Structure formats: structure tokens, C-alpha cells
Amino acid sequence: MKFSLFIARRYLFSKRSTHIANRISHITLAGIGLSTMALVIVLSVFNGLDHLIKSLFSSFDPDIKIEANQGKTFSLSDDSLQQILKIEGIQSVCGTIEGEALLRYRDRQTVATVKGICSDFARVSGIDSMLTDGGFTLSEGDLPGGIIGQDLAWQLGVGLNFINPLHLYVPKRNSSFFSDPATAFSHRYLFPTGIFSIQADYDATYLLVPVDFAKTLFGFHSGEYSALEIFLRKNQKTAPVTHTLENYLGYRYQVLDSYRQHAYFYKVMAGEKWIILLILSFILIIASFNSISSLSLLLLEKKQDIAILQSMGARISEVRRIFVLQNLFISLIGLAGGLVLGIFFCWMQQHYGIIRFPQEGSFLVSAYPVRIVFRDLLLISGLVGMVGVVTGWVPVTVIKKHYFSPVSEA
């Protein structure tokens, strides 16, 4: 191995008599470097976007959400809630009530999702950091308050003036519209106290209200909820708490971690990332195929050296390994250069925001987020190394009959 490594290193840095071979080697080196850099940058951007969106979800969605397997509501006693709160790793348990309601503000109206939350929701979720106007206040004296999504507020023309109330209309439970339309709806009003902006689906859909207000509006009984939202302590892993809750609650409830709450979205993000990786890998493979031409020309140039090495007792496998290693060196140099350039560009993007979104101010961040993951760097390195070995082995194996004497293999 040391013999093959020594000769391969000498061939790598020695000047070749065939000028076109040098050019092809340089093109191969540049192609591998640029492809590697593109892989690092693109995967880091996907990781950055994924991390950003997950952080936005975490400011509204709980770490664990408990829902009924059948029906839209369920009932739990206060003792059961206290038992859940005693589970190790749980910081807060918030019973929520959620339903559709007709919202009317002055002369505008629309249908939205009203979500009743507990008083600890802002403290444990971090949604107060997503407010664009007003404050996270669920009441002003005896008057109930509400936190409304930015797009929903824009549709209704809502202002935080405590002059014009926001009216809510919900069909009463177990009531017949045809018997008495005037009493078929439950009506309440509140004053918007804050506006939040998290993500388009949330901003155009949700109005957050006190849980007691929602209980009265929707006609829920004491201890009846749409969901239990559980927030964990810092650095607490979700899996063991989820397993404990499943054993405690039984089959009538489904326990959803952050991934299962948005399973479709996470699958789409992961699929897009792997598709991009596959496309860029094909570009890397195509760029590496130039090394086959370069290595073939090198074999032609070193035909006399091969004969001399065989006459000195070198086996075919050792001579073949020389050229495979030489091609692998080219791939590794390109890999190293691409990794350095890719990581440097990501560092520049993280600190200086070189590439920005087209309409600054319309996004939560002004520049594309990037996040380097060490696992991706290992994946890219393994991919480039494998391509380097394969593209080096192919020409040596295909044309071995023309350059190697089978006698020396014995």
C-alpha cells in the first residue's frame, strides 16, 4: 500500500507531457470542488429554513398535544390534570378549546378559528415574542381581550383602540336553527389587545382568547377540552414523556409530539432536501466522469512506467491501485476545497446576510437562514470519496488487458 501511495503522490504532482490531460484534471478538480460547495450551501440553506420554521411552530404549538381518538372533545378531571403535571419533565399543562366562529368587526366579517388558552400560554410558548402590535393581554379589567393573527386583523380592519369591539358568533350546541333562528347562535364580544405574526396559515386563521371565554362561547362543560397542550422543561427529550403519557391515558387519546403535529410538512421538507441532494449528486458524478478521460490519458502516458514496475516485481493489483489512489487524491483535494468554500460562504451568510429575500421587511428574517449540520458534511464527504474510487477503478479495470501483463500477477 505504501508503494502504491508513494507512486500515486508522485504522479499527482508531476507535470504530464500530455497538455490536454492536465486541462482535464484541472476541470475535474474544479467540478468536484464546485459541486461539493453547492451541496454544502444548498443543504445548509434547507437546514436553516427547516430550523426557522420549526422555531416558528414551537412559538405557537406545544411540545406535546393530546387529542381524543374519536370526536372533537374530551373530558378530564382536575385530578387527572394534576397527575399529568406530576410526570417528570413536564413544565406546564394547558387545556385548550378550539372551534370555528364568525367574526364581525364594524362592517367586515369572516370565519376564523377561535382558540381558548390558559394564562400560562404566553410564558411557556414564547408567542409573546411574535407580537407585531399591542401586548399579550387576555383581559383589560373586566373586559376580555384577544390576540389576533396579522392577516386576519388585516381582513377585518381591526385596530387596537378599545372603542370598536370584535363580535363572535357561534351556533349553539344542540340547538335547532329552524325552530328559532334568533336564539340559535351564541354571541359574545371582546377587544383585540395584540396582533401576532408567526406563519401565513396561523396569521390568517387564529384568534386567541381566554379559555373561560371560549368555554362560554362554545358551550363547553367544566373539564371539557378540545386538546391538552403540554410544554416540557428545557432540554427535556420528548420521547420518554410521550411514552409515559400514552401508557397513562390509554387508547382513547392520541399523543402527538411536534413531528406528528405537522407530519405532512416535515415529510415534504425532508423529501425536497433529499431530491435536491440527488440532483446535485448527479451533477457531481457527471463532473467526476472527466477524471475517467484524464486517467485514461495518464495510463497511456505511463505505459512504459507500468511495464518497468511489472518487470521489477510489482503485481497488477498494486499498479492498478496507483491510478485509483491518484484519482482519489484529486477527488479529496476537490472535496477539501469545496468544503472550505461552502463553509466559508455559509459563515458569511450567517454573519453578514449576503443573499437577502427579494422584499425585505415582509419576512421574519431579512436574509436566507443557513445552518451547517455535521452529519451532512460527513454524507457529502462519503459521497465524493465513493465517486472518486468508482471513477478511478472503472478505466483501470476496463483497459487492464492492454496495459498490464498477466504474468506479473502470479
- Range list of H helices, 253-315: 258-261, 263-288, 290-301, 303-311
- Range list of H helices, 126-237: 150-156, 200-203, 211-218
Beta-carbon contacts of residue 334 (< 8 Å; ≥ 6 apart): 28, 29, 30, 31, 32, 33, 36, 384
Alpha carbons 70 and 51: distance in angstroms, whole number: 33
Helix (H) or strand (E) holding 102: strand 90-105
Beta-carbon contacts of residue 49 (< 8 Å; ≥ 6 apart): 269, 368, 369
In this structure, which amino acid lies at residue 365? V
Please give the C-alpha separations between residue 168 and each of 110, 254, 326, in angstroms, as whole numbers. Answer: 10, 30, 74
Q: What is the pLDDT of residue 142?
A: 80
Q: Is the pLDDT of residue 341 over 90?
A: yes
Long-range residue pairs from 346-351, CB within 8 A, at least 24 positions apart, any chain? 346/40, 346/41, 346/44, 346/370, 346/372
Please give the C-alpha separations between residue 198 and each of 64, 131, 153, 369, in angstroms, as whole numbers. Answer: 19, 9, 13, 16
Mean per-residue pLDDT of the chain: 83
Alpha carbons 253 and 397: distance in angstroms, whole number: 61
Tell me what the mean pLDDT of segment 336-340 comes to: 94
Looking only at the bridges linking them, the beta strands covering 143-149 and 206-210 are antiparallel
Q: 45: which 3 cell numbers? A: 440553506
Q: Which of 109-113, 170-174, 230-234 has the highest mean pLDDT?
A: 109-113
User: DSSP string covering 57-93, please?
Assistant: HHTTS-SEEEEESSSS-EE--HHHHHHHHTSTTEEEE
Q: What is the pLDDT of residue 22?
A: 65
Alpha carbons 322 and 341: distance in angstroms, whole number: 29
Tell me what the mean pLDDT of segment 244-267 comes to: 89
pLDDT digits (tens, 9 = 90+) for 352-396: 888 887 765 445 677 888 999 999 999 999 998 888 878 777 766
Q: Is the pLDDT of residue 80 over 70?
A: yes
pLDDT digits (tens, 9 = 90+) for 267-310: 888 888 889 888 888 888 887 777 777 666 766 666 777 777 77
Q: 93: which 3 cell numbers? A: 399543562
Q: 170: which 3 cell numbers? A: 357561534
Q: 22: which 3 cell numbers? A: 492536465
Nearest to 272 by CA among 264, 282, 260: 264
Q: 96: which 3 cell numbers? A: 385548550
Alpha carbons 350 and 369: distance in angstroms, whole number: 7
The pTM (predicted TM-score) of the whole model is 0.73
Query: What dihedral do alpha carbons 221, 120, 72, 178 form, nearest 10°?
Result: 60
Q: Is the pLDDT of residue 407 over 50?
A: no
